[in-house]
């Protein structure tokens, strides 16, 4: 059975290729140095161990910087205890210093920073106690190197400074790249946050525009509903009243047809005005009395009462009052009894209270008005701070339906 390696595992293996190559190069150089400088087989084995350990640390410095630092200390500690000479290949530990500063965690960065001066001191102690060993052999003249070491009084300081520079320079480079990468990611995050904020603002504006369009659509539907519903109710009442006219009185029939035509023209004009204007259409010039007169002309008896001193309303409140009374009268015509008067009261006392009361016709389909008409009135009133109350009462002469609207009164233009 053939096993297939998943793509993520393949990607991880390929990501390790540069580290493996670097470790292999260090291992080859270190093993060559061990073979060239080791005087006895035991020494060569120990040097080879140091070379392989250093190579492994270099290979781990990018992916596992903490492990690489620990491995360096383990190899150097065993090297110090076993008395193994320093190797030239150990200069590659500079790659570990770079890796710990560049990719290590915060703790690893601090430990690597403390390790650099400690490592320089240990190297100075080793050279002071045992000399340069194989490094002197590689220099070509061990006696000259050892003589310089014995005669000079400042070589320890020089060696310590050179050791710290060898490890500190790549460590500082790694740290600089680390902070540069962090600054770049921070800038990218800031840009992403700004893009998200801009996108949120755009979506908010779109949502507001959609809400505005829906509000305009709902207002348009309410206006058309109020205008057409009221006009059709009046026309229907006028047409029904024509059924009871005397056939020998053509003048009365002509007057009824003229009233129907006038109502139709008025309705058509109002619908055109609503459709042509994106804002709320202005109320009828004659005001609320025009609605009452129109219902009377349809053959319904209307008892209108006005209490208090009428005051002029600003345009937006005049529109609301007009449309609300229009819908109330429409419901009274549609659902009320023709043999009972429609009671219309207007009270001017701090605010305008409009009340329309009628006896409900004994029909299961017209027991109580409702639907879009009541919802439209309620929304209109709430938009200007008003309110609506609808009640049905069973009284001696039949069920009574009462709709009451409160419209706040403000001075015109306030």
Domains of the chain, by residue range, sit at 7-152, 210-408
- Find the mean pLDDT for residues 251-263: 74
How confident is the model at residue 259, as a pLDDT? 73
How confident is the model at residue 10, as a pLDDT? 45
How confident is the model at residue 224, as a pLDDT? 72
- Taking 70 as the threshold, does the pLDDT of residue 359 lie above it? yes
Please enumerate, as own/partner, the contacts of 222-226 that have beta carbons within 8 Å and a separation of 24 or more: 222/323, 222/372, 222/376, 222/379, 222/380, 223/274, 223/280, 223/281, 223/323, 224/271, 224/274, 224/275, 225/372, 225/373, 225/376, 226/323, 226/326, 226/327, 226/330, 226/373, 226/376
Residue 258 CB coordination number (10 Å): 11
How confident is the model at residue 2, as a pLDDT? 44
Under DSSP, the state recorded for 410 is -
How confident is the model at residue 25, as a pLDDT? 94
Among 14-28, 234-248, 260-274, which range has the highest average pLDDT?
14-28
How confident is the model at residue 403, as a pLDDT? 92
Instruction: Average the pLDDT over each of 6-10, 25-29, 203-207 and give the range with the smallest value.
Output: 6-10
Cα 304-351-271 angle, rounded to 5 deg = 65
Among 125-129, 136-140, 386-390, which range has the highest average pLDDT?
386-390
List the one residue out of 313, 282, 278, 290 whose CA is nearest residue 231: 290
Helix (H, G, I), strand (E, B) or coil at 301: coil
Mean pLDDT of the residues in the chain: 78
Tokens representing residue 108 in the block: 């690893």
pLDDT band at 257 (very low <50, low <70, confident <90, very high): confident
The Cα 272–Cα 286 span in angstroms is 19
- Taking 60 as the threshold, does the pLDDT of residue 198 lie above it? yes
pLDDT band at 276 (very low <50, low <70, confident <90, very high): low
Under DSSP, the state recorded for 91 is G
pLDDT in tens, 325-358: 888 888 888 888 878 888 999 998 888 999 999 8
How confident is the model at residue 140, as a pLDDT? 46
- Which distant-in-sequence residues (6+ apart) come within 8 Å of 197 by Cβ? none
Would you identify the CATH topology of the domain 210-408? Heat Shock Protein 90 (3.30.565)
How confident is the model at residue 405, as a pLDDT? 93
Residue 305 β-bridge partners: 345
The sign of the CA dihedral 273, 278, 284, 285 is negative
Helix (H, G, I), strand (E, B) or coil at 29: helix
Instruction: Average the pLDDT over each of 58-72, 253-267, 391-405 and give the range with the smallest value.
Output: 253-267
- Taking 50 as the threshold, does the pLDDT of residue 17 lie above it? yes
- Taking 50 as the threshold, does the pLDDT of residue 380 lie above it? yes
pLDDT in tens, 294-324: 788 777 788 999 998 888 888 888 888 888 8
pLDDT in tens, 100-114: 999 999 999 999 889
Do residues 30 and 57 lie in contact, with contact meaning Cβ atoms separated by under 8 Å? no
How confident is the model at residue 245, as a pLDDT? 67
- Which distant-in-sequence residues (6+ apart) come within 8 Å of 375 by Cβ? none
pLDDT band at 411 (very low <50, low <70, confident <90, very high): low
List the one residue out of 310, 290, 308, 319 whose CA is nearest residue 381: 319
List the one residue out of 336, 339, 351 whose CA is nearest residue 403: 336
Calculate what percentage of the chain has a pLDDT beyond 70.
75
pLDDT band at 176 (very low <50, low <70, confident <90, very high): very high
pLDDT band at 28 (very low <50, low <70, confident <90, very high): very high
């Amino acid at each position: 059975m053939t096993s297939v390696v998943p793509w993520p595992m393949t990607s991880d293996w390929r990501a390790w290729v540069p580290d493996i190559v670097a470790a292999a190069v260090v291992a080859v150089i270190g093993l060559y140095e061990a073979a060239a400088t080791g005087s006895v087989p035991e020494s060569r084995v120990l040097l080879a161990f140091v070379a392989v350990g250093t190579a492994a640390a270099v290979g781990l410095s990018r992916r596992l910087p903490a492990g690489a630092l620990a491995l360096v200390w383990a190899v150097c500690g065993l090297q110090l205890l076993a008395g193994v000479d320093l190797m030239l290949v150990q200069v590659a530990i500079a790659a570990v210093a770079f890796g710990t500063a560049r990719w290590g965690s915060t703790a690893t960065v601090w430990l690597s920073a403390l390790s650099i001066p400690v490592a320089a001191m240990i190297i100075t102690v080793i050279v002071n106690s045992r000399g340069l060993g194989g490094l002197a052999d590689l220099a070509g003249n061990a006696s000259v190197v050892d003589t310089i070491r014995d005669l000079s009084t400042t070589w320890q300081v020089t060696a310590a400074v050179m050791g710290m520079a060898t490890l500190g320079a790549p460590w500082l480079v790694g740290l600089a790249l680390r902070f540069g990468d962090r600054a770049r990611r921070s800038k990218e995050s800031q840009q992403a946050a700004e893009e998200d904020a801009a996108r949120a603002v755009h979506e908010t504006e779109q949502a507001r525009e959609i809400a505005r369009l829906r509000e305009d659509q709902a207002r348009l539907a309410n206006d058309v509903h109020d205008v057409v519903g009221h006009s059709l109710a009046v026309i229907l009442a006028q047409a029904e009243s024509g059924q009871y006219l005397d056939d020998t009185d053509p003048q009365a029939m002509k007057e009824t047809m003229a009233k129907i035509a006038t109502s139709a023209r008025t309705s058509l004009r109002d619908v055109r005005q609503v459709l042509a204007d994106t804002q709320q259409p202005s109320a009828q010039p004659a005001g609320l009395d025009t609605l009452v007169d129109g219902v009377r002309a349809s053959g319904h008896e209307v008892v209108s009462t006005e209490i208090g001193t009428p005051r002029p309303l600003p345009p937006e409140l005049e529109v609301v009052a007009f449309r609300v009374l229009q819908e109330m009268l429409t419901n009274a015509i549609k659902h009320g009894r023709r043999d009972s008067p429609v009671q219309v009261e207007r009270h001017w006392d701090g605010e305008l209270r409009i009340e329309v009361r009628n006896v409900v016709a004994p029909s299961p389909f017209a027991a109580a008005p409702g639907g879009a008409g009541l919802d439209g009135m309620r929304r209109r009133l709430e938009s200007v701070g008003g309110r609506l109350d609808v009640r049905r009462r069973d009284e001696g002469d039949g069920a009574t339906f009462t709709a009451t609207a409160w419209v706040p009164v403000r001075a015109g233009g306030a």
